[in-house]
Amino acid sequence: MTVFKFTTKNSRIDYRVTNKDNPTRQYVKSIMDARWSVEVYHREVKQNCGIERCQARTSRAQRNHIFLAISAWFE
């Protein structure tokens, strides 16, 4: 297990732990950046597409609603 210490722009300290063999600091940073972009995407989808307001009962209807909401967002 390897622990990495990162200091943010506002002087906050974040620690990241990985069990990958011989990870580099750049590898861990790239994973952190990728995870953050996924978080931003989910926030935007929730706020801009309204997928949390879906009142569908079946999983198929929910999937259809999410697909159509995201498709409309990209149009």
Spatial separation of the C-alpha atoms in residues 27 and 31, rounded to whole Å: 6
19 within a domain of the structure (yes/no): no
- Has residue 72 got a pLDDT over 90? no
pLDDT at 45: 84
Domain residues for the domain of 73 are 24-75
Q: pLDDT grade, residue 56 (50/70/90)?
A: confident
Q: For residue 75, is pLDDT > 80?
A: no
| Total of domains in the chain | 1
Could you tell me if residue 11 is inside a domain? no
Residue 6 lies in a domain: no
29 phi and psi, to 5 degrees?
-65, -40
Q: Is 48 a member of any domain? A: yes
What pLDDT is attached to residue 64?
A: 92
Asked if the structure places residue 69 within a domain, the reply is yes
Is residue 7 situated within a structural domain?
A: no
Q: What pTM value is reported for the model?
A: 0.60
**pLDDT number for residue 21:** 87
What does the pLDDT read at residue 69? 87
